[in-house]
Amino acid sequence: MADGVLPETESKMQKAVEILKRDLAGIRTGRASPALLQNVKVDYYGVPTPVNQIAGVSAPEPRLLVVQPYDRSILSTLEKAIMKSDLGLTPSNDGSVIRLPIPPLSEERRKELVRLVRKRVEEAKVALRNIRRDAVETLRTQEKNKEISQDEHNRVNVQLQKVTDSFIAQTSKIGETKEAELLES
């Protein structure tokens, strides 16, 4: 019974780390990345649709994103959605594609983004600890209901702590990598 708690907890923790990676991919660095537009939604025939589902997004140069819609009729709608997003990018429309030059980040903006990265990493760590707490509660309940022995409870608890520590270290590493990416010129 207790052995089922560990894989389930690991799976939830892995999902939390994946969510952190996706969140951090959307934070703009000085380089062009198609992931910058992942959270931008376009009103496509009345349905908010992610940019990557209605257009091809590529980074042909380190400081340029090119968005080529599959349907040219939505070019202006796509351009407006990018302008409304909080990315701080100014799109230029040439009638068939949208070009997004990525301006270099100011030192102040870099520090602000580093603070945001640290906040998101800390939120991920809190989520990991909450997942661990829920698993410990499940184990405690199983022990109380005599479904597992105290020795098994302690053994799984130690394994659970090791797994949690490894995921927290992984989250810290992801955050440090993103911070270094933001601070490089």
Domain of 149 in residue numbering reads as 2-25+106-183
Q: Count the domains in the chain.
A: 2
Q: Which residues partner with 69 through β-bridges?
A: 55
pLDDT in tens, 108-122: 878 888 898 999 999
Low-confidence residues of the chain: pLDDT under 70 = 1-3, 28-30, 185
pLDDT at 82: 85
Question: Which helix (H) or strand (E) element contains residue 8?
Answer: helix 5-25
pLDDT at 1: 55
pLDDT at 36: 79
List the CATH number of the domain containing 41: 3.30.1360.40
Same-domain status, 115 and 153? yes
pLDDT in tens, 37-63: 877 888 888 888 888 888 888 888 888
pLDDT at 129: 95
Q: Are 93 and 79 in contact (CB under 8 A)?
A: yes
List the CATH number of the domain containing 11: 1.10.132.20
3-state class percentages of the chain: helix first, strand second, coil last, to nearest 5: 65, 15, 20
Single pTM value for the model: 0.71
DSSP state of 124: H
Same-domain status, 120 and 179? yes
